[in-house]
Amino acid sequence: MHILVTGAAGFIGFHVASRLLNKGHAVIGIDNINDYYDVRIKNSRLQILKSNNKFTSINCNIEDFDKLAKELNGFQVSGIIHLAAQAGVRYSIENPFAYANSNLLGFTSILEFARNFKVNHLVYASTSSVYGLNENLPFSEKNIADHPIQFYAATKRANELMAHSYSSLFKIPSTGLRFFTVYGPWGRPDMALFKFTKNILANKEIQVFNNGKHIRDFTYIDDIVDGILRAFNSPPNADQNWQPRHPSPDSSSAPFKIYNIGNSNPINLMEYINLIEEYLQKKAKIKYLPLQQGDVVRTQSDLSSINSSLGYSPKINVKVGVRNFIEWYLDYYKER
């Protein structure tokens, strides 16, 4: 039996596939290696995974269901961890069709594969961005999340609704995971920690939006992977206490569940930048800018549900996490 990990050459997908392989599982990794960011880091991640003989790599666009089914024909897939998506909040304003293709059509392909091949559990990535205009902090899965303020978040909220329909129709256990600002080694070059580190080292200015007044629930990659695998190993059942006249958004009479995965200890962006400066032993040249379109000012995760149900509790604080990233970055780029 194999575990299918989509987006295996991506930041989170790489770490999930690595953890599964280290635990002795056979993993099929799907990725189309698109050029949204530097493909060299994607290929580096993939080469590490390919060094394990229990890893099978498939280059495929997930929205092409016929090719997906053909490539996976002959494999026994016990479960899916779906992490492939067009990422990036701001890019969704510029190129919404990329998100419609990957996040909507692509997710439909994954749902159809789960149905046709009768997988035991589908776990998929959602995002804290679905909370949108909600200002009821900390963000809880019990809150309605129907007011996203970017198209990216809208596609991820749509994924949650699409998954529920398949869980309801075909009894496919599905779990959606709302990630909160993931960071760490092998991170994405388009994200703040990576960009800040690169520009500070190059003596270039960093752009800090909302005049540095953002507050974020930064979550270290190892904690994210821990939450993903805890969820994957605990397929949801129908909630026997679910009330259709007072429906809870995070569960259902179908085998469906939504969890936050965060750190629940948010910090100010300027504190984050100060940590980067400290570990690089170099001051940043900062250009302060107003709040950017599509941004929210503060995020914080309510982890009571995933803690009580799955025993999840984040272990890595931001000081350790930023230090680990800086050490990885300096090592990875020293010969590049």
CB-based contacts of 23, cutoff 8 Å, min separation 6: none
Q: Which of 99, 124, 152, 166 is catalytic?
A: 152
Integer-rounded Cα radius of gyration of the chain: 19
Q: Which residue has the tokens 């963000």?
A: 139
Q: Which residues of 236-275 are buried (b: 16+ CB within 10 A; e: fewer)?
A: bebbeeeeeeeeeebbbebbbbbbbbbbbebbebeebbeb
Q: Establish whether 37 is a catalytic residue.
A: no
Give dist(CA 252, CA 239) in Å, integer.
6
Measured CA to CA, the distance from residue 13 to residue 55 in angstroms comes to 13
Q: Work out the angle at residue 6's Cα, subtended by the Cα atoms of residues 327 and 295, and round it to the nearest 5 degrees.
A: 65
Q: Which residues contact 53 (CB under 8 A, 6 or more apart)?
A: none
Q: Taking a C-beta distance cutoff of 8 angstroms, is the pair 261, 228 a contact?
A: yes
| Catalytic residue numbers, as ranges | 152
